[in-house]
Amino acid sequence: MTTIYEVAARAGVSLSTVSRVLNGKASVNTEMADKVKRAASELRYTPSQKARSLASKYSHAIGVVLPNKNMLFSSHLLFSFEHILRQYQKHCVVAFSHDTLESENEAIEFLLSQGCDGVFVTTIASNPIASTTQHLQDKKHRVVALSKSELKGGVTGFSASIFEVAAYAFTQLRDLGHNDIALISDNSELVSHTNDISPALKSALSRLSTTGSASFRPELSVYVGSENTDDPLLDLLARDATFSALICTSDTLEQRIVSSAKELGMELPYDLSIITAQSPDSPLSTSKSTLSYSVSTVAYSTLDIAKVAAHYCLSTFYEQAAGEDTIDSTLPMSTAPIFLDYGSTVSFT
């Protein structure tokens, strides 16, 4: 087995220089670093991870706890997260939560017992109170959480939720001049028992209003979709609701609304502008068969979520600045959803 001494001899440098280069330190000039990397490649030298861990007190492995549901979202998020971490010589060890608090706690305990420096927990598709429970608070210095609700108890992390997505869709329409906006949703978390927008959605709207140019005016006609309603748009119109734009929260509702609008003779987007607000753990479809080009879509980018998660993990577990190359150190607590405009949102006249 090739040793670090042989690499140093081949490159004609000291052991400390080889160590700094192979550990990704930036204090070695480019020419010297290239010589070391070339020597290591020629000798097929592979650093001992165990030796690196003993020397640095880190395993350079980050545990990832994923929910069992919405595997397409989880796989995309994991791919981006792992790809970013590799650029910082970090790797992932994965466990699944089985969508229960007990299993999530067991997965975290297992990953930490295996020497992971910290754990990134995605509670986005599991129990919504997972991010506020004691099992995370007890390990808050070794856990970064992605939650669909607000984090409490000093747990490090950020939120990516349907509330921010729906609020972002609202502000997009409001800034285009739409003052009467309907929300058609089959998601009970977005509405209260009084058939009004939920406190969580109101909070998200208020947060966005502090950064926008216009003041927040919650002029939403709220409709809660149900499986027993064949035509949610017609049902809303029967209530004499006045609206020029509409937010819906699933592809299924969007297709039913578009079909109904066309049957009623509405021209999209001029008679009715529509935005589909996708849940963060819903797959974003861009195929013509499932996404109408007269409808805009708002959704989180899994790549942006992964960038924020990597930023928090590197700074929390290693106190490592994550501003160079792929990660923007100015990233906010919650990423902004991406806005795919297929021509449906136009200024109201």
Token representation of residue 78: 């994991």
Return d(Cα 280, Cα 204) in angstroms, integer. 15
Question: What pLDDT score does 228 carry?
Answer: 61
The mean pLDDT value for 287-315 works out to 79
Residues of the chain with CATH 3.40.50.2300: 58-160+302-317, 162-299
Question: What pLDDT score does 47 carry?
Answer: 66
Return d(Cα 280, Cα 9) in angstroms, integer. 52
3-state secondary structure of 93: strand
Return d(Cα 247, Cα 286) in angstroms, integer. 18
From the centroid of its chain, how far is CA 171?
20
The CATH code that applies to domain 162-299 is: 3.40.50.2300
4-47 maps to CATH 1.10.260.40: yes
Question: What pLDDT score does 107 carry?
Answer: 92
Residue pair 169/183 in contact (Cβ under 8 Å)? The answer is no
Token representation of residue 312: 């928090």
∠ CA(165), CA(344), CA(292), 5° rounding?
85
Top-confidence residue, 232 or 137? 232
- Ramachandran angles phi, psi of 219, nearest 5°: -90, 70
Residues of the chain with CATH 1.10.260.40: 4-47
Token representation of residue 231: 């035509």
Residue 291 DSSP code: S
∠ CA(276), CA(292), CA(288), 5° rounding?
125
Instruction: For 8-18, write each residue's pLDDT tens digit.
Output: 888 888 888 88
Token representation of residue 23: 């550990």
58-160+302-317 maps to CATH 3.40.50.2300: yes
Instruction: For 175-185, write each residue's pLDDT tens digit.
Output: 888 888 888 88
Question: What pLDDT score does 214 carry?
Answer: 46
Instruction: For 74-131, write each residue's pLDDT tens digit.
Output: 888 999 999 999 988 899 999 998 878 888 889 999 999 988 999 999 875 444 444 4
Token representation of residue 289: 């068969």
Instruction: For 47-81, write each residue's pLDDT tens digit.
Output: 665 555 545 577 889 999 998 877 888 888 999 99
Question: What pLDDT score does 310 carry?
Answer: 92
Return d(Cα 279, Cα 266) in angstroms, integer. 27
User: pTM higher than 0.75, yes or no?
Assistant: no
Instruction: For 243-290, write each residue's pLDDT tens digit.
Output: 889 999 888 888 889 999 999 999 888 889 999 998 877 765 544 444
Cis peptide before 269 (omega within 30 of 0): yes
Residue pair 118/144 in contact (Cβ under 8 Å)? The answer is yes
